[in-house]
Amino acid sequence: MIAVRALRATRGRFELGPCSFTAPTGAYVAIVGPSGHGKSSLLWALTGAIPAQGIVQVDDVDWSSLAPERRRCALVPQDGGLFPHLSAAGNMGFALPRGSPRVAELARSFGVEGLLAQRASQLSGGEAMRVALARALGRDPVLLLLDEPLSAIDEAGRAPLLALLRDLRGRCTVIHVTHDLDEAVGLATHLGVMRDGKLAAFDTCEQVLLHPPTPEVAQFLGAENLLAGVFAPHGPDASTFAVGPLTLHVLARAQGPGYLSIPERAVMLALRAPEGTSARNAVPLAVRSVVIDRQGARVCLEGVISLCARVERESVAALGLVPGAQVVAVVKSAQLRVVGER
């Protein structure tokens, strides 16, 4: 297990923390957030390379006062950090005994057997990252830190590297920082969101995505149609959500002021409130705008609330979706997403 408590550090003028999180041994942790918000600084603080205050405990060993060289971790920077004058084999064997068979094992595991004699400066971006990952794993770290490992990789090289990174799950604990949310979600078991040097959210991927703790986190994660209102329990597993004069039914238990997200794809449009359907939320609204794109059409609506819906192109003509047209927006209770408290 990795347990970080109240970690603080200063890197130049940037203030990191306090940051706290816990993840089980073998977890693949992704930390996402905009550039300049502290993702890389968090990694450097965990290595001990920059002075930090707080507690870092890894597998029951307190790293807080350990020198960087005594911490069983390896950091792979964006460019791989290879020694350009050494061959791929020389880089992978740099921290190993001369002639170690481990180099050949690593080369097979990371698919670089045919590159061993090439200098690092001759490798493509994807090849260099494979060698860098092999070198890092050659030290048998308990904690592997990856700083934007795919940011310099072209589209053709990303898929095989993603598969390679996915295979690292369970091999050691991984902390992978990226600004690419799709990349993070495709790899991680646990997800953290970095804002202004602090972890604004941290939990399992599913928990953070389904229940973001704040509207700011929800918006960063792509939440759509975010509404502010008040929840009230309605039965053992449901709630009502009052936004102005409108009351929506939510298949989740919540109470008090908070936010609700309505995914655009969850909004169905009709000319009148449908009968014989399980959808409990039907809201009369007027069309404000219609934009046709490659995914279909995005229809924005206004009235008692404002929201946007994603529909098929054919629906635009079939429903007469033009500015000013009156429609009913229909959403099932189970498709509404509760966001954190206000």
Per-residue pLDDT tens over the stretch 69-86: 899 999 999 888 999 989
Q: How is 240-290 classified by DSSP, letter by letter?
A: EEEETTEEEEESS---EEEEEE--GGG-EEESS--SS-S--EEEEEEEEEE
Q: Which residues contact 156 (CB under 8 A, 6 or more apart)?
A: none
Pairing, β 73-76 against β 143-147:
parallel
Q: Is the pLDDT of residue 337 over 70?
A: yes
Q: How is 72-112 classified by DSSP, letter by letter?
A: -EEEE-TT----TTSBHHHHHTTTS-TT-THHHHHHHHTT-
Confidence of residue 34 (pLDDT cuts 50, 70, 90): confident
**Secondary structure of residue 167 in the 3-state scheme:** coil
Angle between helices 125-137 and 102-109 (to 10 degrees): 130
Rg (CA), the chain: 25
Question: Rounded CA gap, 178 and 284, in Å?
Answer: 41
Q: What is the pTM of this model?
A: 0.83
Q: Is the pLDDT of residue 130 over 80?
A: yes
Per-residue tokens: 332: 């099932």
Question: What integer is the mean pLDDT of 22-34?
Answer: 95
**Amino acid, res. 248:** L
Among 165, 173, 221, smallest CA distance to 46 is for: 173
Among 156, 214, 211, 205, smallest CA distance to 182 is for: 205
Q: How is 178-225 classified by DSSP, letter by letter?
A: ES-HHHHHHH-SEEEEEETTEEEEEEEHHHHHHS-SSHHHHHHTT--S
Among 121, 122, 85, 91, smallest CA distance to 106 is for: 91
- Return the CATH number of the domain spanning residue range 2-220: 3.40.50.300
Q: Is the pLDDT of residue 207 over 70?
A: yes
Name the one residue in this structure whose structure tokens are 């509760």: 338
Q: For the chain, which residues make up each domain, given as ranges?
A: 2-220, 226-261, 265-332
Q: Is the pLDDT of residue 210 over 90?
A: no
Question: What integer is the mean pLDDT of 141-151?
Answer: 94
Per-residue pLDDT tens over the stretch 238-289: 999 999 999 999 999 999 999 999 999 999 999 988 876 667 899 999 999 9
pLDDT at residue 211 in the model:
84
Pairing, β 326-331 against β 268-270:
antiparallel
Phi, psi of 61 (to 5 degrees): -110, 125
Phi, psi of 275 (to 5 degrees): -110, 150
CB atoms within 10 A of CB 142: 17
Phi, psi of 243 (to 5 degrees): -125, 105
Per-residue tokens: 156: 């053709």
Question: What integer is the mean pLDDT of 140-144?
Answer: 93
Among 187, 172, 99, smallest CA distance to 133 is for: 172
- Return the CATH number of the domain spanning residue range 265-332: 2.40.50.100
